[in-house]
């Protein structure tokens, strides 16, 4: 059990919180034979609901529909497809998204307006609704179905992303996510489905999710591209004993910390599984003038192709990092900067240090790389996650639709 009063559940997933079931089938939407590509997450009782969506001005039909439904603060199921984004598909795409929720509602015993919808895949292609209709009724909802659902939302991902935490004498939060490419701050082809058996007031649920997403998914960059389909949903079914959590509740802080931990874990796994990635890259900014500038600097570094290429090549090219911070808009004074790779300082007080380059190169050859900069200008701090940039990334994305 952590100091914050929660523990990670071995094998935990989105259906770990009591009351939730999920399932998935191969509908033939994906161009990968027999891949699970259509799934449903369903609660056994009414839920408070929250959602955070892409800021891309081109928004997919599922995003448009789900955004409207989340505003009500209530939803009890999510239906999702992978292989087709249902984006840039006009009125027909909206009708397809609505029909997906209608089909899922029939299976879950709900009304369509209680169902959220998400899709991921190729943009500009209509969903094969005949296949969707035929397959939807074959979905078997199970308490351990979160694992299948985690596989169903994958596109270029190489591994599913799943997690759950249990809060001492309280409640459970579980989640799954997908994301490997088109990942950039403010979310990029990123789907996240979170659940909890805590009873949570809808307005606080939305605020808590927004805060958690801002320090996790919104601090991940794989390639600098932001998708049309991003969404993170959180459903709370209230099955756990106890009073409803709101902003003034004694449990509000514990709920936020546990939710933050779930989201950060999933965000790190997305960065680790970036298309063609061989390393997880964490960049920490300390001593910025404020948090906003710290976030800007951290994002600039983790999304820099030059920095990412250097990380891939185990090249301790600190100049690229300083340059990225300098163009981020964050204040920086060269004479104050400290910079370290792992625990080895390359710069202190703006002066280049004598360091063992071989030791740093060896560190950079590992599968997890952490770099920290202290600007010594204030109290702003932020952490961002990214990955290295390899030849495999180009290979994957040059053949994506073929």
What mean pLDDT is predicted for residues 118-133? 95
Which of 99, 118, 93, 113 lies closest to 41, judged by CA? 118
Going from the C-alpha of 35 to that of each of 15, 32, 388, the distances in angstroms are: 21, 6, 28
pLDDT at 246: 97
Whether residue 242 is predicted with pLDDT greater than 50 in this model: the reply is yes
Q: Phi and psi at residue 21, in whole multiples of 5°?
A: -130, 160
Q: Which residue has the tokens 């991902």?
A: 157
8 A C-beta contact, residue 154 and residue 29: no
Beta strand pairing status for 380-387 and 191-196? unpaired
pLDDT at 3: 59
Tell me the two tokens of residue 343: 């625990």
8 A C-beta contact, residue 263 and residue 174: no
Which of 243, 248, 280 lies closest to 386, judged by CA? 280
pLDDT at 101: 99
As a whole number of angstroms, the distance between CA 390 and CA 297 comes to: 23
As a whole number of angstroms, the distance between CA 232 and CA 210 comes to: 9
As a whole number of angstroms, the distance between CA 226 and CA 223 comes to: 9
User: What is the average pLDDT value for the chain, to the nearest integer?
Assistant: 92
Whether residue 192 is predicted with pLDDT greater than 60 in this model: the reply is yes
pLDDT at 223: 46
pLDDT at 189: 58
What mean pLDDT is predicted for residues 315-335? 97
Max Cα distance, the chain (Å): 67
As annotated, the active-site residues are 189
pLDDT per position as a tens digit, 68-119: 999 999 999 999 999 999 999 999 999 999 999 999 999 999 999 999 999 9
How confident is residue 272, by pLDDT bands cut at 50, 70 and 90? confident
Listed in sequence order, the DSSP H helices in 137-197 are 146-152
Listed in sequence order, the DSSP H helices in 77-141 are 90-108, 129-136
As a whole number of angstroms, the distance between CA 302 and CA 310 comes to: 11
Structural domains of the chain in order of their starting residue, each with its CATH number: 6-272 (3.60.70.12), 280-398 (3.10.20.340)
pLDDT at 390: 78
pLDDT at 184: 47
Which of 261, 331, 259, 247 lies closest to 289, judged by CA? 331
pLDDT at 18: 98
pLDDT per position as a tens digit, 3-58: 578 999 999 999 999 999 999 999 999 999 999 999 999 999 999 999 999 888 88
As a whole number of angstroms, the distance between CA 249 and CA 203 comes to: 13
Q: Which residue has the tokens 């789907």?
A: 191
pLDDT at 48: 98
pLDDT at 185: 43
DSSP state string for 14-77 = TT-STTEEEEEE--S-SSSTT---EEEEEESS--EEEEEE---SS--HHHHHHHHHHTTTB--E
8 A C-beta contact, residue 23 and residue 146: no
As a whole number of angstroms, the distance between CA 162 and CA 265 comes to: 9
How confident is residue 291, by pLDDT bands cut at 50, 70 and 90? very high
pLDDT at 226: 60
Whether residue 276 is predicted with pLDDT greater than 80 in this model: the reply is no
What mean pLDDT is predicted for residues 305-317? 95
What mean pLDDT is predicted for residues 292-303? 96
Which of 153, 144, 209, 210 lies closest to 178, judged by CA? 153
pLDDT at 47: 98
């Amino acid at each position: 059990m952590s100091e914050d009063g929660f523990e990670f559940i071995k094998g935990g997933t989105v259906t770990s919180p009591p009351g939730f079931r999920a399932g998935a089938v191969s509908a033939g939407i994906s161009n990968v034979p027999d891949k699970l590509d259509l799934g449903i997450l369903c609660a056994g009782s009414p839920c408070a609901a929250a959602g955070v969506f892409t800021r891309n001005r081109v928004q997919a039909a599922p995003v448009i529909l789900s955004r409207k439904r989340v505003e009500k603060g209530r939803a009890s199921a999510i239906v999702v497809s992978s292989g087709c984004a249902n984006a840039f598909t006009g009125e027909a795409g909206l009708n397809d998204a609505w029909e997906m929720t209608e089909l899922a509602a029939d299976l879950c015993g709900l009304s369509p307006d209680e169902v959220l919808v998400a899709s991921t895949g190729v943009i500009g292609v209509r969903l094969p609704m005949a296949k969707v209709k035929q397959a939807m009724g074959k979905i078997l909802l199970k308490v351990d179905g979160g694992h299948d659902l985690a596989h169903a939302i994958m596109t270029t991902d190489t591994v599913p992303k799943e997690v759950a935490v249990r809060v001492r004498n309280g409640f459970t939060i579980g989640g799954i996510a997908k994301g490997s490419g088109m990942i950039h701050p403010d979310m990029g082809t990123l789907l996240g489905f979170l659940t909890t058996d805590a009873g949570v007031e809808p307005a606080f649920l939305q605020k808590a999710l927004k805060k958690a997403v801002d320090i996790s998914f919104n601090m991940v960059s794989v390639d600098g591209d932001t998708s049309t389909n991003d969404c993170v949903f959180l459903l709370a079914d209230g099955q756990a004993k106890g009073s409803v959590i709101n902003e003034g509740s004694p449990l509000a802080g514990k709920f936020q910390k546990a939710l933050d931990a779930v989201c950060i874990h999933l965000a790190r796994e997305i960065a680790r599984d970036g298309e063609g990635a061989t390393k997880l890259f964490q960049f920490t900014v300390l001593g910025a003038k404020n948090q906003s500038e710290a976030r800007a600097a951290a994002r600039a570094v983790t999304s820099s192709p030059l920095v990412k290429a250097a990380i891939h090549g185990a090249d301790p090219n600190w100049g690229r990092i300083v340059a990225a911070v300098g163009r981020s808009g964050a204040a920086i004074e060269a004479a104050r900067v400290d910079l370290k790779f792992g625990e080895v300082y390359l710069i202190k007080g703006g002066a280049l240090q004598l360091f063992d380059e071989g030791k740093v190169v060896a560190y950079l050859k590992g599968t997890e790389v952490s770099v920290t900069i202290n600007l010594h200008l204030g109290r702003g701090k932020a952490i961002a996650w990214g990955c290295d940039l390899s030849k495999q990334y180009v290979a994957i994305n040059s053949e994506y639709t073929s």
